[in-house]
Amino acid sequence: MEDKAMLPTITRRSYSPFLSNLFDDDFFPMFTTRSNSMPAVNIKENEKNFTLDLAIPGMDKKDLKIDINEDVLTISSETKNETEDNSDGYKRKEFSYSSFCRSFYLPDNVNTEKIAASYKDGILSVELPKMEEEKNKISKQIKIS
């Protein structure tokens, strides 16, 4: 069986006709309010675990969701905000929406029962412990009689 490295999955891209990018963020940056939909991630590995650190500043941990489906770990969030101001004869109503979704293939040696996550200072850290090696795999020399 081939080992899979922990890598981000392929991002979904939809087909876009020739002129669909006319109103993209790059063309009219002053009129767009959506946030970046792909948080930056650092992936570290040592002999005991993998660690994913995602930069997600300004989020509330209750808005974050972590799922495992077979060998894919998915981290996502969806937030909606709406404000209304009726003062001094002014009427204003604003709303915003932001979301992201990142998915990662999990190597076969990750113990999915012991995955833990924490969120502090805008960084979501996900610890993916590796399964313990069998202790019966001891190297020794056999004496021939």
CA-CA distances (angstroms) from residue 51 to 57, 76, 117, 118?
A: 18, 17, 10, 11
pTM metric for this prediction: 0.64
Contact by Cβ (8 Å): 9, 104: yes
pLDDT digits (tens, 9 = 90+) for 39-93: 999 999 999 999 999 999 988 889 999 999 988 999 999 888 888 888 888 888 8
> Domains (ranges, CATH) in the chain?
36-129 (2.60.40.790)
